[in-house]
Amino acid sequence: MLHQLTSAALSQFDDLQKSEEIAGLVAHARSANGSTSAYLKNKVRAFETRYETSSAELLLALETGMQQETAEIAEWLFLLETLEVHAC
């Protein structure tokens, strides 16, 4: 569920209410990021299981030409990149 707080609504709150609302938004954002990361990690693990190799071994195989990039491999790489961005 998307939690939104408009500036018009925020202007109607006293300082304590503003702090509570903003803290709630931050907590929700942190929770959503954790859920997204868990989802991405599960998808990566599914690829690792299917290909019986780790992501690190895949990257090495691609770099050395031992593995060709396919549509599935491209999806796997996209997931890895997205996870990296989420970690920042």
Torsion of CA 38, 31, 36, 85, to 10 degrees: -100
pLDDT of residue 1: 43
Within the chain, residue ranges assigned H as helices are 7-11, 15-51, 55-64, 71-87
Calculate mean pLDDT across residues 1-13: 71
Residue 3 lies in a domain: no
Given a cut of 70, whether residue 3 has pLDDT beyond it is no
Residue 33 lies in a domain: yes
Calculate mean pLDDT across residues 15-21: 85
Residue 11 lies in a domain: no
Residue 49 lies in a domain: yes
| Domain range for 82 | 16-87
Residue 51 lies in a domain: yes
Residue 64 lies in a domain: yes
The one-letter amino acid code at 72 reads E
- When divided into structural domains, the chain yields a total of 1
Residue 36 lies in a domain: yes
